[in-house]
């Protein structure tokens, strides 16, 4: 979901103790993310995670993804897609329109997710949408050796990029994406730093089409969420 949606929810619920902390994952740094943040003019804090520490810590592979964290700093709902879906894949790329049926599903999914957040703010740990204890641990994907190696390649690639060795750096970034192909964050940042392509161009759509029946956004396990 875009920043204005979060701004609206923040304004609605801020007096009930709810806040939003938005994190832009952009290897190009604050200046690349600044125009988007300034255009939205949010009332909540927006950070830029150039090193992708947040993605690594919470095992995030795409945007937008979210983690619900309560007043005690405990995860109330682990990393998942934040109200978005694969409906965008039905978009007409000439006029950017989306078929009515898909647009309705997108709107429904967003409404379900926002209503779940409202329920959590109102009821706390009594909300049916909250995970606790072992359930949080079971639902939070854990990094394995391959993911750790992908993270190391990504970090080294970024370091080389920023210190004048772009050619070698892009090789490590590509290797990170190869090791962890499900990470659209890795691929997107690599494409934006690579001279051969941009993350929003034809290369992106070709990669989406290559998914076939696999998901771009993993479905959110939440009552009422359209399938």
Separation of alpha carbons 208 and 93, rounded Å: 13
**Long-range contacts of the stretch 39-43 (C-beta < 8 A, 24+):** 40/2, 40/3, 40/4, 40/7, 41/7, 42/3, 42/6, 42/7, 42/10, 43/7, 43/10, 43/11, 43/14
Separation of alpha carbons 171 and 153, rounded Å: 9
Separation of alpha carbons 115 and 98, rounded Å: 24
Q: Which pLDDT value is given to residue 29?
A: 84
Q: 209 burial class (0-12, 13-18, 19+ CB within 10 angstroms)?
A: exposed
Q: Has residue 132 got a pLDDT over 90? A: no
Helix (H, G, I), strand (E, B) or coil at 47: strand
Mean pLDDT across the stretch 141-145?
82
Q: Which pLDDT value is given to residue 191?
A: 86
Mean pLDDT across the stretch 101-122?
95
CB 14 within 8 A of CB 47: no
Q: Which pLDDT value is given to residue 1?
A: 56
Segment 193-204, tens digit of pLDDT: 775 556 668 889
Question: What would the two tokens of residue 30 be?
Answer: 């604050």
Question: What would the two tokens of residue 16 be?
Answer: 């009930």
Segment 55-97, tens digit of pLDDT: 999 999 999 999 999 999 999 999 999 989 999 999 998 999 9
Question: What would the two tokens of residue 141 be?
Answer: 């994907």
CB 120 within 8 A of CB 76: yes
Segment 6-61, tens digit of pLDDT: 999 999 999 999 999 999 988 888 888 899 889 888 999 999 998 899 999 999 99
CB 81 within 8 A of CB 62: yes
Question: What would the two tokens of residue 120 be?
Answer: 């959590």
Tokens 């499900």 locate to 182
Q: Which pLDDT value is given to residue 51?
A: 87
Q: Is 146 left (phi over 0), alpha (psi -120 to 50) or beta?
A: alpha
CB 160 within 8 A of CB 168: yes
CB 17 within 8 A of CB 121: yes
Q: What pairs with residue 42 in β-bridges? A: none
CB 185 within 8 A of CB 62: yes
pLDDT over 90 for what percent of the chain? 69
């Amino acid at each position: 979901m875009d920043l204005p949606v979060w701004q609206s929810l923040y304004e609605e619920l801020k007096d009930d103790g709810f806040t939003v902390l938005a994190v832009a994952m952009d290897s190009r740094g604050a200046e690349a993310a600044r125009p988007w943040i300034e255009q939205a003019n949010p009332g909540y804090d927006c950070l830029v995670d150039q090193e992708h520490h947040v993605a690594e810590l919470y095992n995030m592979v795409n945007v937008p993804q979210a983690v619900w964290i309560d007043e005690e700093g405990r995860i109330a709902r682990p990393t998942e897609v934040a109200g978005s879906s694969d409906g965008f894949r039905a978009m007409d790329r000439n006029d950017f329109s989306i078929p009515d049926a898909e647009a309705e599903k997108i709107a429904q999914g967003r409404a379900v997710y926002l209503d779940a957040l409202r329920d959590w703010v109102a009821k706390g740990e009594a909300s049916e949408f909250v995970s606790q204890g072992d359930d949080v641990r079971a639902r939070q994907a854990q990094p394995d050796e391959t993911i750790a190696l992908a993270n190391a390649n990504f970090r080294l690639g970024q370091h080389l990029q920023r210190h004048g060795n772009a050619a070698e750096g892009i090789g490590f970034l590509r290797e990170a994406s190869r090791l962890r192909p499900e990470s659209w964050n890795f691929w997107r940042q690599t494409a934006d730093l690579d001279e051969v392509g941009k993350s929003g161009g034809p290369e992106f759509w070709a990669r989406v089409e290559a998914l076939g029946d696999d998901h771009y956004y993993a479905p959110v396990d939440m009552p009422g969420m359209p399938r």
